[in-house]
Structure 1
Amino acid sequence: MDRVRTRTLKQFEELSAAVESHSSSQIQRAVSAFELFKIREDYENKKKIAMRRSGARGKAARLEEDKAELRLKEAEESFANMSLNVVVDPLTQALSHIADLQQILESVDYQTTTSRAGSILAGLAFTPEMIAGPYKDLSGGWRSRAALAGALLLQSDVLLLDEPNNFLDLPTTMWLEMFLTEQVDGRTVVMTSHDQEFLNRVVEETIYIRGQKLRYFEGTPLQLEIFERKDLKHKQKQQAALDKKRAHVESSIQKGRSSAKKTGDDNRARMAAQRQRKLDERWGLEVNAKGHRFKLNRDLVGYALTSRAGVQFEEQEQVVRLCLPEAPQLRTTGDLVTFDKVSFRYPKAKKPLLEDVTFSLAQGGRMAFIGANGHGKSTLANLIVGALKPSSGKITTHPQLKIGHYGQHSVESLTLGTQGTRKTAVQYFLDYFEKLGEKVEEGEARACLGTLGLGGRAMGETPVEGLSGGQKVRLAFSLIVFRPPPLLLLDEITTHLDLGTIRALARALRKFTGSIILITHDRWFCKVVIELAPFRGRAGAGSDEDEDEEDEDEDEDEEGEGEAEVGGKKGKVYRVWNGRVGLLEGGMEEYVTKVERGMTRRMRLAQGK
């Protein structure tokens, strides 16, 4: 964004200086240089589009690229000879371009851009050194944050954000929530995200796809979920009442027919036939969708087989199901992992990244490590699995312990390991265990992948490098749960997963009988998996009061699995911050409160209060 602002401002100043010079040749040259730049920019854009398209659309894009390249060559030759875009009145052209550039500069509010950019970058956790440093020194994740900052800075009519909080830690995600709710200055914000609490704290309207059509709902995803659950339950009751009433009427008609047949009463037989005809033609709801009395010409427009509308059930979202095998029981008692005053310092580091860390994990226990990026959560995971050794202190593990470790870079490692091999998920699965010296039958591999939702063509036909990010997560996860370990160590496993799969994974992990260590920035996922919070509030923040109105007998979620069905005890949540690992008695909610207080304090300091 700063690059665009600087370039636009420079072009504005060059054209303005040419106009103020009152020199026709200087104005002509400035206009020609500007138009050459626009032609070159058009070529670069068409080149990028052609690289990303294939098939018929790709062919058309490449033709456009060739035309743009030809125009660029002609323009460069003309500019070299100073004959580009010779116009009768170059001053008019210059003033027109100046007006366009002025509009662009106003859209970024260029006079206050630097201060606003610094504020946004600081909110996205950029340090002063990173802000002042060159862009090329940033890693991929920080470049994504810089791109997000540019989108937030631009004073546009519509702000379109696709998974904006991917790879953001929780404090930064909460800052983004605050920015989008308080500082978007009347802009329309359209976003996609798989973070349930993030959406419920930010959005006012939900657009979702059902039956290959866009549907619109005034409210958050949580409110939509509650509405759909209540609507479904209401319609099920309506249908049950109609079915019961119809059975009663049909029984009465059958009795009338039997009586008429026995007595030979033609009137009674005729009455039974009339009732049957009325039942066939006019059976249905007596009220419309608004609760008003049903009127045929108003409520049932068009052709219909009956003169009453039946209960209309909306198409339900397909439920993702994941199943985890039972964890093995260890033959001896004792804690699985114990840290006793453990410290760790990377070589050449000035101070320890982790210092005096003490905790223990019992068999069947659960714990989560949360906190801002860069404070040692993944290092802690590597210490647990033995990939790193402590600088001081003692780490004790159960002698029979096996750990299933899903790391931050599991998907990237899987992708790099299969580039150009055309291996399918099944082949990769079999080769993986063969390298470990274990013979696995293809049927076993297919069964394991199938239980984790990786079936069909994705399992046996599509190369691993062609799988989506979520499918690669399932493959990587299948490798660690095929022979289920007593302990699952999951570091940012929800990255790349869609909302339905995140819920299915949470449901499966709740029932897992082994131990779990979770590193995550997903508030809802931590609450339901580690703290075993009720799954009914699964859509995230801002629990709607309407939830309290649900019947007490609704102890099952929409998949028919009881809320009480969990495989372990409520776990503990630890905050990793400034080298320390501290227990949060209030769990994730306590951490969220601490972060909110910190943001409020920083905002007051920035405002001089």
Structure 2
Amino acid sequence: MKRVFLMASSKQDPVILATCKQTRFHLAEGKGSGEIDIQGLDIQIASRSSQGQDAEASGTGKSKARKKDKSGSGLEILNGATLRLKAGVHYGLVGRNGTGKSTLLRAMADRLIPGLPESVGIAILQQTDIDVDPLTLVTRNAAALEVGEVLAKKEPRTVLQQVVQSDKARNEITRKLKILSQALEGHEDSLAPVKAIRHLRHEARQHELFLAQKNASLRSGARGLQARKDLKMAESKVEESAVCLEEDLTALDNSKIQEETQAAVELLADVEAQFESINVLDLDQEARKVLLGLGFKEADLDQPFFSLSGGWRMRCMLAGALIQSADIMILDEPTNFLDMLGVIWLETYLTRMRELSDKTVVVVSHDREFLNNICEEIIILKDKTLTYFKGNVSAYEQDQESQKLYWGRMKEAQERQVAHMENTIKTNTKIGKKTGDDNKLRMAKSRQKKLDDRMGVEVSASGGRFKLSRDRAGWHDSLRAEIEVPADEKGVSIYIPDAPDLRFPGPLLSLEGVAFQYKRGGAVVLKSIDLVMHMGDRVGILGLNGCGKSTLLKLFVGSEEPTQGKISRHPRLKLGYYSQHSVEELQELGQSAPAETGLSLLCKETEGVLEEGEVRGLLSSLGLPGRTASDVPVCQLSGGQLVRLALARILWQMPHILVLDEITTHLDFHTVLALAAALSSYNGALLLVSHDRYLVRKVIEGKQNLDDDDGAELEAKTHDEGDESKRRDVVVLKAGRLQLQEDGVDQFEASLQKRVRKMIA
């Protein structure tokens, strides 16, 4: 077992501890194939104090004690897992919130996992603080992280420059080129080239020391002895270069100055050759193409990067990851800030990448359709281990259902067989003892032996007949493995209470000829909007970012007044509005009141209408049970938990219509499925704005089986036959007008795919 630590930025920050099985065959240098196969991978999140104690134990050589205490030293993410990535394959990583998906990706990108080849470059997009310079976040290559980690942070950069400079290898070459050029071109200071060459040599030797330390910690035996010798040599070289940096350069003689100046000239020539080998023009063109595909306009590319909003900065970071020449690209929720056009463009881009290159891609996303369209294999993070399935998410779920059915039937059949055998054994034993029939007793004993030793799995892994010497070789407590039926995962809990009766009929909301503009004489955002909502209606609004969807919802809820037209509301209407900024509002509230919990907040807002028990029940029905609601401050809740709390703030009034604007942004894959099921059974009206195609198809169009289009259409029609008045419309907001999509999401998706093909061609 070998381990690597992630050093935290402060004493209070947690660290990631990664260990795995290693052999000398993993350590061949210069032979990286772009594939990863790491056995026995353990990952924990531990405190700094635990790290120090563990390091101290490592120094005393008490490996057994470390192994014994390891399970209690921190939060365990993986235990004995196998991390296997094949070159050129696109993987989808799925798992519930809190299982450690982002921690695993971080450990890969920061090279905390022993056995990751140095020659394999890794680019990553993480959902981190968008105010941090993406240069330190987007890519982690084989170069030492401490060398030139932050380059010109204070220097203002345009959007295009920011994306282009995300290339770590190019940045390092550019940095060295700048240092050497300025030193050699400066005529005032003759010692500048000496300072520059000594500084760069010291950095190079620090990187060599970093690699030597890593090799010495991994190797053993004769190779380990040589690695420790190399480590001592690297340490002495770093000490020597450190002394050179502190040396008084004015005391150098002219011959030494000329010698080191010549070394600087030669290094500059090498760096210039490396820079010329990089086709900067192609990189700029690729960055421009990617930015335009992600929704930027040509004029936006010259805007300052730090003037952008958080969502557009994340798009820049995504573009920076896409243009990397890395062997492995990791994308953590890349669709969060994209509209449907951007999502479809990214799907097409990744699909073409799979055809044209052998780059490995690992994606985490809550967008089911996106994962289905781009992933060839699924990695399931569950029960602290990694399992693999060849196929997309829908195929995996179908396989799980068939496996449950198959093994369930086998177990039921075997239970019936066991019951029959036990009854036969009991009967034969009774008759044999009563009549003295030894044959009956031998038969009972034989059947008992079969019952004890030969019950269990009766088929091999390939589906053939079970053979003990082949399928279960070695010593075991029983000769056959016990039949295990795959258990359903503990479901994500979301329940939406039904809307109360209105007492007298009528439309909930009615928009007649509504138009809107923010400033008199300014651009008209909405034109001639006509829309009527009754109880049970389902309307999904699609459209590109900036087309006015959120503005239309503000007119619905009354936070804006129309410039023209009329909006009528039922006199007893209760409306629940989830805005796309609801989570951010709760985060700000949590920061201003650090002690506020979800339970205390909702008790205040209900103003005694609901008792504490009823508030607890509501929060629990939305997935915030017990102490999560009463003890965890709002400022410490995750994004998905904040979405649930925001829903509770509008559902306690039992609204007749729900207006939801991008509700899936902070939810994980499984929670989106639970939300779709809850919304589908809601009896009130629903107005939904979302870029999630699965959610719109499931909730608005009413499709039950989205993996079978014919069956889905049939079930949707059957579902609506009982209530012809229920309306299920998908509309697109374009040029300020609502356009009905007769074929639903499929029609809008087809138009966007046609547009993307023109963009990429």
Mapped partners of 2:588, 2:433: distance in 1:
81
Which residue among 359, 377, 391 is the counterpart of 1:205?
377
1:426-448 Cα shifts (integer Å, max 9, x gaps): 111111222xxx44321111111
Give the corresponding residue for 1:607.
none
Mapped partners of 1:289, 1:586: distance in 2:
44
Give the corresponding residue for 1:296.
468
Contact 1:27 1:94 in 2 (8 A): no
Give the corresponding residue for 1:593.
750
Aligned CA distance change for structure 1 residues 24 and 298 (closer, same or farther; 3 Å) = farther
Displacement of 1:21 in angstroms is 11
Which aligned pairs between 1:68-107 and structure 2 lie closer than 5 A?
88-92=259-263, 95-96=266-267, 99=270, 103=274
Which residue among 659, 672, 676 is the counterpart of 1:489?
659
Mapped partners of 1:31, 1:582: distance in 2:
64
Mapped partners of 1:262, 1:449: distance in 2:
65
| 1:525 aligned onto 2:695 | yes
Mapped partners of 1:8, 1:470: distance in 2:
41
Which residue among 719, 728, 750 is the counterpart of 1:571?
728
Mapped partners of 1:352, 1:82: distance in 2:
74
Mapped partners of 1:87, 1:430: distance in 2:
77
- Which structure 2 residue ranges, 5 or more long, are not aligned? 1-162, 208-241
Contact 1:377 1:576 in 2 (8 A): yes
Give the corresponding residue for 2:598.
425
Scaled by the length of structure 2, the TM-score of the pair is 0.66
Displacement of 1:197 in angstroms is 0.7
Mapped partners of 1:246, 1:262: distance in 2:
24
1:200-259 Cα shifts (integer Å, max 9, x gaps): 111122111122011122221222111111111111111111112222223333333344
Corresponding letter in the other structure for 2:552: L
Which aligned pairs between 1:151-190 and structure 2 lie closer than 5 A?
151-183=321-353, 185-190=357-362
1:127-148 Cα shifts (integer Å, max 9, x gaps): 1221122223211111111111
Which aligned pairs between 1:257-276 and structure 2 lie closer than 5 A?
257-261=429-433, 263-276=435-448
1:32-87 Cα shifts (integer Å, max 9, x gaps): 59749979x99xxxxxxxxxxxxxxxxxxxxxxxxxxxxxx99998899799x979
Give the corresponding residue for 1:54.
none
Give the corresponding residue for 1:48.
none
Corresponding letter in the other structure for 2:164: D
Contact 1:29 1:82 in 2 (8 A): no
| 1:2 aligned onto 2:174 | no
Give the corresponding residue for 2:10.
none
Corresponding letter in the other structure for 2:492: V
| 1:511 aligned onto 2:667 | no
Give the corresponding residue for 1:558.
none
Give the corresponding residue for 1:113.
283
Contact 2:332 2:363 in 1 (8 A): yes
Contact 2:199 2:245 in 1 (8 A): no
Mapped partners of 1:356, 1:82: distance in 2:
83
Which aligned pairs between 1:9-24 and structure 2 lie closer than 5 A?
9=174, 11-12=176-177, 15=180
Aligned CA distance change for structure 1 residues 306 and 136 (closer, same or farther; 3 Å) = closer
Single out whichever of 481-490 and 284-293 deviates more from structure 2. Answer: 284-293
Give the corresponding residue for 1:388.
560
Aligned CA distance change for structure 1 residues 578 and 36 (closer, same or farther; 3 Å) = farther
Mapped partners of 1:297, 1:457: distance in 2:
52
Displacement of 1:149 in angstroms is 1.1
Give the corresponding residue for 1:475.
645
Mapped partners of 2:195, 2:722: distance in 1:
72
Q: Secondary structure at the match of 1:513?
A: coil
Q: Percent identity?
A: 36
1:136-167 Cα shifts (integer Å, max 9, x gaps): 32111111111111111222222121111111
Contact 2:191 2:257 in 1 (8 A): no
Q: Secondary structure at the match of 1:418?
A: helix
Aligned CA distance change for structure 1 residues 293 and 476 (closer, same or farther; 3 Å) = same
Contact 1:510 1:566 in 2 (8 A): no
Give the corresponding residue for 1:55.
none
Q: Secondary structure at the match of 2:590?
A: coil
Displacement of 1:269 in angstroms is 3.1
Q: Secondary structure at the match of 1:111?
A: helix
Mapped partners of 1:506, 1:391: distance in 2:
35
Aligned CA distance change for structure 1 residues 268 and 570 (closer, same or farther; 3 Å) = farther
Displacement of 1:316 in angstroms is 4.3
Mapped partners of 1:399, 1:223: distance in 2:
48
Which residue among 628, 635, 644 is the counterpart of 1:458?
628
Q: Secondary structure at the match of 1:369?
A: strand
Aligned CA distance change for structure 1 residues 324 and 589 (closer, same or farther; 3 Å) = same
Aligned CA distance change for structure 1 residues 304 and 570 (closer, same or farther; 3 Å) = farther
| CA RMSD between the two structures | 3.7
| 1:309 aligned onto 2:309 | no
Give the corresponding residue for 2:76.
none
Corresponding letter in the other structure for 1:572: D
Mapped partners of 2:528, 2:202: distance in 1:
59
Corresponding letter in the other structure for 2:282: T
Give the corresponding residue for 1:66.
none
Single out whichever of 281-290 and 489-498 deviates more from structure 2. Answer: 281-290
| 1:363 aligned onto 2:528 | no
Mapped partners of 1:389, 1:36: distance in 2:
66
Contact 1:376 1:579 in 2 (8 A): yes
Mapped partners of 2:474, 2:630: distance in 1:
47
Give the corresponding residue for 2:420.
248
Aligned CA distance change for structure 1 residues 481 and 309 (closer, same or farther; 3 Å) = same
Mapped partners of 1:327, 1:304: distance in 2:
58
Contact 2:574 2:653 in 1 (8 A): no
Q: Secondary structure at the match of 2:465?
A: coil
Aligned CA distance change for structure 1 residues 471 and 565 (closer, same or farther; 3 Å) = farther
| 1:193 aligned onto 2:365 | yes
Displacement of 1:415 in angstroms is 1.4
Scaled by the length of structure 1, the TM-score of the pair is 0.82
Mapped partners of 2:441, 2:647: distance in 1:
68
Which residue among 222, 225, 236 is the counterpart of 2:408?
236
Displacement of 1:469 in angstroms is 0.6
Give the corresponding residue for 1:552.
none
| 1:28 aligned onto 2:200 | no
Contact 1:341 1:358 in 2 (8 A): yes
Mapped partners of 1:119, 1:154: distance in 2:
14
Corresponding letter in the other structure for 1:495: T
| 1:405 aligned onto 2:570 | no
Which residue among 259, 265, 278 is the counterpart of 2:450?
278
- Which structure 1 residue ranges, 5 or more long, are not aligned? 43-72, 538-542, 549-554, 556-561, 605-609
1:376-431 Cα shifts (integer Å, max 9, x gaps): 11111000011111111111111111101111111111111221421111111111
1:324-364 Cα shifts (integer Å, max 9, x gaps): 21211111111111111111001156321111111211221
1:89-113 Cα shifts (integer Å, max 9, x gaps): 4444554466467657756x41322
Corresponding letter in the other structure for 2:449: R
Aligned CA distance change for structure 1 residues 565 and 357 (closer, same or farther; 3 Å) = closer
Single out whichever of 192-201 and 288-297 deviates more from structure 2. Answer: 288-297
Aligned CA distance change for structure 1 residues 430 and 20 (closer, same or farther; 3 Å) = closer
Contact 2:179 2:196 in 1 (8 A): no
Mapped partners of 1:358, 1:527: distance in 2:
23
